Structure 1
């Protein structure tokens, strides 16, 4: 399988620094092309969120460079991928928490990462950065670890109420600012001609799912330039609609 990719990140209209971090890495192996994509959203309002997001990105970069050969040749890649990612998350949580205490500050980051290997994808997420699959429709692959999502799951809040709830940005956990982090893992199959999108929450707060599908469906993505242009268009639309957060997204098309 071949991949087309595009990455775009923007500081937005309000914040002085971009606390989001993004990573895309690809390798060629005897078992086909392998691609890793990661987005981390350093906590808005917490000091040095960019330090936390960058630290997690670097750990996944190191994992891809050092652990990928054993994953590719494993008889059980799912178990190996998720177990090593879990160790990364636990280690990062401890290190970022210790750094924050030493500096007398609070900092943290969300995480969403996807690995494409063979015909399978593997996802980990913590917080409210998301992964989507886009084919004939827009499918959210991750579930937000947020207060409003929990309330919806418990039947105490409707989706419409969640959109403007004053606590819509309250996370149940994030790396570096939680005593214990429990990542969610997802896996599935993919085929040629699909697109996948990872994004921080700033990319999709004021954009409807219909608008995302219109610009990011695979039929609109004939080249990496077209993919990038559509990410920029949606980013500028976010800013026009007064989105207050940093804005980041990674777009991947399978071929």
Structure 2
């Protein structure tokens, strides 16, 4: 499988720093191409959120380059991938928490990690950054680890109530700020022509799934420049509608 991809990030219209971090690395083996991508959203309102998100992205890059090859050549089975990503995210959560305590600050980050390997995709997620797959429609892979999502799942809150609830931005867990971190894990089949979208929550608060799908319609995403322009247009639409958060997205198309 081959991939084309692009990343777009914007500080937004209100914040003074961009606490989002993104990662896309592709590697070529003798048999196939493999890729890792990640969106990390440093916690808004917590000190040094950009430090937490940046540290996690660097750790993932190091893992992919130095530790993942042995996992790849051993078969890249889902249980091994899940365990490896769990171990990395939990370890980094402890390190970030210890760093924060040593500095007397609070910091944390979400993590939405996508690994493309062989004919499978794997997603590990903590927080409310999201992964989508786009084919004939936009399908949300991840489920937000948030208070309002839990309340909706339990039938105690409607979607309309959740969107105006004062606790709608409350996370149930995040890297570096939760004593216990339990990443969600998802997997599925890789198909030529499908797209994967990773985004921070600032990217998708105000725009609709239909607007995302139309701007990133798979047959139109023919190269990196077109993909980047699609992400840019959606980012500018968010800003025009007065989204106040940082806005970051990654799109990967399989070929």
TM-score, normalised to structure 2's length?
0.98
Task: Write the distance in 2 (CA, Å) between the matches of 1:150 and 1:31.
Answer: 42
Consecutive aligned runs of 4 or more in structure 1 exceeding 3 Å deviation: none
Q: Tell me how far 1:76 sits from its aligned partner.
A: 5.0
Q: Aligned-residue CA RMSD in angstroms? A: 0.9
Q: Which residue of 2 aligns with 1:238?
A: 238
Cα distance in 1 for partners of 2:116, 2:84 equals 16
Quote the residue 1:87 is aligned against.
87
> Structure 1 stretch 79-88 or stretch 147-156: which is displaced more?
79-88
Distance 2:141 2:217 in 1: 15
Partner of 2:43: 43
| 1:130 and 1:199 in contact (8 A); partners too | yes
Q: Does the residue aligned with 1:253 lie in a helix, a strand or coil?
A: strand
Match of 1:160 in 2: 160
Q: Secondary structure at the match of 1:102?
A: helix
Offset of residue 171 of structure 1:
0.2
Number of corresponding residues: 255
The match for 2:136 is: 136
Q: Distance in 2 between matches of 1:86 and 1:156?
A: 30
Distance 2:195 2:84 in 1: 26
Post-superposition Cα deviations, 1:10-39, rounded to whole Å, max 9, x if no partner, equal 110111000000000000112300011011
Check the 8 A contact 1:195/1:217 in 2, yes or no.
Answer: no
1:164: how far off?
Answer: 2.3
Shift in Å at residue 213 of structure 1? 0.6
Partners of 2:76 and 2:117 within 8 A in 1: no
Q: Given the two structures, how large is their TM-score scaled by the length of structure 1?
A: 0.98
